[in-house]
């Protein structure tokens, strides 16, 4: 057999193998033609999800994901699953790991959420509805979402966090001169007061401990053993560089990442309050929200550069994705 014929036969075998494989044919082959996708961001203006193509640190925004509805909110559960709310108020789970995307409605969950908070690990979430004295917990994410309503008699919720199993919630409500933090557990089906803050801008729950960013007090503090002794511990304040904290995220590596708007920085601490790094951002820091794994979004909008914080390395880093160009 000549070399030309052997090459032709080998090419047919390779193509046939790719077409026979559902993974290679629908995902890997498409990815090779358009570049790998490592995350997604919401374009709130057009109500669409945009893929982040390339690798963290060298990325561009791809064409919008084709869905049959517009989105008003979207929060990442993991690299491919999104909790989304449509412009009509429907609450959905969107699986972007398959083509076309798989859509799962969250049963019994009413629309119109004013707040969506995802538990660490992406297996639980809570929804707060405007004017409603209560919260909806959703467990079994992403494959089998189950919603339950928790009635709260002490007022509408401003900020909240849920534990990964959905069995514990820490939330804040407006109080005279500031805010009060409460803890709810499924085992007791009741809430109890924990502590006070000036203006809560972020809450995270990991295991039995809670972490709070207080923008009014320029402080970050922890609450150890939330459902037990609920002991408050100072973590960082103005002398540590905390200046109008607008977001807080906790990772399973026992790291606390705090984004400060006034100083345009992201600071990392361990649970004892020891500073592990500070990163300046040439941007308008709006918060800190998960994109995937240990990569967090710091800015709003997609018509200006999107700045992200990668907490995966020992030192951490901030990078950006170029803005989209909208038709004039």
**Mean pLDDT throughout 140-161?**
93
Instruction: Give, for 164, the enclosing helix (H) or strand (E).
Output: none
Residues 44 and 304: their CA atoms lie apart, in Å, by 13
Higher pLDDT, 90 or 21: 90
Burial environment of residue 236 by CB neighbours within 10 A (0 to 12, 13 to 18, 19 or more): buried
35-91 residue pLDDT tens: 799 999 999 999 999 999 999 999 999 999 999 999 999 999 999 999 999 988 889
Q: Report pLDDT digits (tens) over 193-239.
A: 999 999 999 999 999 999 999 999 999 999 999 999 999 999 999 99
What are the distances in angstroms from CA 125 to CA 132, 199, 218, 277? 17, 22, 27, 29
- The Cα–Cα gap between 182 and 173 comes to 8
Encode 178-232 in three state secondary structure. EEEEEEEECCCCEEEEEEEECCEEEEEEECCEEEEEECCCCEEEEEECCCCCCEE
Give the residue among 232, 225, 248 at the shortest CA–CA distance from 296: 248
Distance of CA 120 to the CA centre of its chain: 9
The dihedral through the CA atoms of 221, 168, 157, 111 has a sign that is positive
C-alpha–C-alpha distance, residues 89 and 72, integer Å = 8
Q: What is the pTM of this model?
A: 0.86
Residue 245: closest CA among 209, 280, 285: 285
Distance between alpha carbon 128 and the CA centroid of its chain, in Å?
16
End-to-end Cα, the chain, rounded Å: 59
Q: Is the pLDDT score of 33 beyond 50?
A: no
């Amino acid at each position: 057999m000549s070399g030309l014929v052997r090459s032709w036969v080998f090419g047919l075998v390779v193509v046939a193998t790719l077409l026979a494989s559902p993974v290679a044919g629908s995902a890997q082959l498409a990815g090779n033609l358009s570049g790998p996708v490592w995350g997604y961001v919401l374009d709130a203006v057009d109500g669409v999800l945009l893929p982040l193509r390339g690798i963290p640190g060298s990325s561009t925004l791809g064409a919008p994901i084709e869905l049959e509805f517009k989105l008003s909110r979207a929060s990442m559960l993991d690299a491919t699953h999104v909790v989304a709310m449509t412009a009509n108020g429907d609450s959905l789970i969107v699986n972007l790991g398959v083509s076309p995307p798989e859509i799962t409605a969250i049963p019994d969950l009413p629309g119109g959420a004013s707040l969506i908070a995802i538990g660490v690990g992406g297996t639980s979430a809570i929804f707060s509805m405007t004017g409603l004295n209560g919260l909806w917990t959703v467990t079994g994410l992403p494959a089998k979402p189950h919603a339950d309503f928790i009635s709260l008699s002490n007022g509408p919720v401003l900020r909240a966090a849920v534990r990964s199993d959905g069995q514990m919630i820490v939330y804040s409500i407006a109080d005279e001169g500031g805010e009060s933090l409460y803890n709810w557990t499924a085992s007791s089906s009741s809430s109890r007061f924990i502590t006070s803050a000036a203006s809560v801008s972020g809450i995270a729950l990991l295991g039995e401990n809670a972490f709070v960013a207080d923008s009014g007090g320029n402080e970050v503090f922890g609450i150890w053993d939330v459902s037990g002794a609920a002991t408050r511990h100072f973590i960082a304040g103005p002398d540590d560089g905390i200046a109008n904290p607008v977001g807080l995220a906790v990772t399973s590596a026992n790291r606390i990442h705090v984004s400060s708007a006034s100083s345009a920085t992201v600071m990392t601490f361990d649970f004892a309050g020891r500073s592990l790094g500070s990163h300046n951002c040439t941007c308008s820091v709006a918060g800190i929200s998960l994109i995937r794994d240990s990569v967090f979004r710091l800015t709003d909008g997609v018509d200006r550069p999107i700045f992200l914080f990668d907490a995966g390395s020992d030192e951490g880093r901030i990078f950006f994705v170029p803005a989209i160009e909208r038709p004039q």
